[in-house]
Amino acid sequence: MEKRIIAIAAVAMVLTTIATFKINAQKNEFNPVTTGVTSLNIAPDARGASMGDLGAATDPDANSQYWNASKYAFAYSSAGISISYTPWLRKLVNDIALLNAAGYWKFGSEDNQAISASLRYFTLGEITNTDGENNVISSVNPYEMAFDIGYSRKLSEKFSMGVVLRYIYSNLGFNEASDEALSGASAFAADISGYYTTYPIIGRNECQWSWGFNISNIGSKVSYDGGTENAFLPTNLKIGTTFAFPLADYHTLAASLDFNKLLVPTKPRTSDYEEGSAEDSPYWDDLQEWQDMSPITGIFKSFGDAPGGFSEELKEINISFGLEYNYNQQFFLRGGYYYENAMKGDRKYFGFGAGFALNVIRLDAAYMIATAQSSPLDQTLRFTLTFDMDGIKELLGRR
């Protein structure tokens, strides 16, 4: 009996040691890319969210400003406006949300160019600071907002490009020692995008095959302490493709695939240095170099600076795949999946949604179910309301 107890104890010790090594290895490997103004990465509209957060090459709509502004030049309507609402951490609080408004207007003799704009406002509600007796000392209302304006133009019958200029303001800092809000941080950024679409004939059916890219948030850094510590904006490279084919008269199915990578250099970690955080460790020089690095240099650096080499760089690529069923541009069903490597944030979730359109208005809804525990949007329902200005003109013209 004693021998059996000793054997069981030995096996348990080995298994515990293996599990400990595995947990420590995972902790050492966990190395997400850190940025400031992270709310810029939240998909604002229900259509893109319901397909796993994608939209680089989907059909243009009023919310293309976020996904790929160059798509506006190929928009079917001459103008459109949308309003979106996305709750955040809904299972915990009810006053954190993202509000977004976007719109565009096509002009020119051939309607081959467009101007667009969007305004996004991310509020964290009211945060109160209390003393030891739970008496409210002060309160703040942190938020982040961004306003941008864009221009897109067809360069050929199949290809367009666009540029967006953006002003960003982040007011999330709070100094608990002084019970005062820190100064807000401002930044300027730009997007550069392209969109290509063609209509191949497969069998007897005319299909649509589109490609798109968007390099977003190329801009200055943000700082809440006057420049002592700076954070990179979430500069992002998005590349995607969409293939749409008819199932029957009035019935169409589109499949989309997007790849995303943050173009932000990886912040040095003490665990990657043999000397750790010792005074003579090269970690401090590398950290200072990271702090002083310009955003443009950081973009190029981001393709080869991961401690794990090329294999870790591949882990920084997030993948979205989605399907959209369309009946006569009046009824839509959507679904998709978003994947992020566990070592880079572990956001993994399914998206589902539907849309209903009339001549003037379209309502889209999306619902997300997370397959990992790290998503604040798990079991969240979001909405987008879109107004077609051509439809409004026709409606007013009949009266």
What are the extents of the domains in the chain? Answer: 1-30, 36-266+302-397
210 or 5, higher pLDDT: 210
pLDDT at 374: 62
Most confident range, picked from 11-25, 150-164, 227-241: 150-164
Q: Which residues contact 334 (CB under 8 A, 6 or more apart)?
A: 47, 50, 51, 322, 323, 324, 325, 351, 352, 353, 354, 355, 366
Of residues 29 and 165, which shows the higher confidence score? Answer: 165
pLDDT of 101 > 90? The answer is yes
Q: What does the alpha-carbon distance between residue 146 and residue 37 come to, in Å, rounded to a whole number? A: 10
More confident residue, 259 or 380: 259
Q: What is the mean pLDDT of residues 318-340?
A: 96
Neighbours of 271 (CB within 10 A): 13
Query: CB of 260 within 8 A of CB of 48?
Result: no
Give the mean pLDDT of the chain.
85
Q: What is the pLDDT of residue 21?
A: 37
The stretch 217-246 carries a mean pLDDT of 89
Q: What is the pLDDT of residue 22?
A: 39
Stretch among 11-20, 93-102, 104-113, 351-360 having the lowest mean pLDDT:
11-20
Which element (helix H / strand E) includes 114? strand 113-123
The DSSP bridge partners found for residue 240 are 212, 258
State which fold the 36-266+302-397 domain adopts: Porin (2.40.160)
Task: Identify whether the C-beta of residue 63 lies closer than 8 Å to the C-beta of residue 102.
Answer: yes
Mean pLDDT of 263-286: 81
User: What angle is formed at CA 66 by the lines to CA 350 and CA 73, rounded to 5 degrees?
Assistant: 120
Tens of pLDDT, residue by residue over 368-379, are 998 876 677 778
Q: Burial of 40 by CB count in 10 Å (0-12 exposed, 13-18 middle, 19+ buried)?
A: buried
* Cβ(54)–Cβ(48) below 8 Å: yes
Alpha helices, DSSP H only, in the chain? 2-29, 46-50, 64-67, 283-292, 295-301, 310-315, 389-397
Average pLDDT over residues 220-226: 81
pLDDT reported for residue 173 = 60
Query: Which residues, in sequence order, are CB contacts of 396 under 8 Å at separation 6+?
Result: none
Quickly state the pLDDT bin for 71 (edges 50, 70, 90): very high
- What pLDDT does residue 6 have? 40
More confident call, 14 vs 245: 245
> What global pTM score does this model have?
0.86
Cβ-count burial of 121 within 10 angstroms (0-12 exposed, 13-18 middle, 19+ buried)? Answer: middle
Q: Give the closest residue to 361 by CA, choosing from 62, 43, 45.
A: 62
pLDDT confidence of 5, banded at 50, 70, 90? very low
Per-residue confidence (pLDDT) for residue 12, from 0 to 100: 37
Tell whether the model's pLDDT for residue 165 goes beyond 70. Answer: yes
**3-class secondary-structure state, position 43:** coil
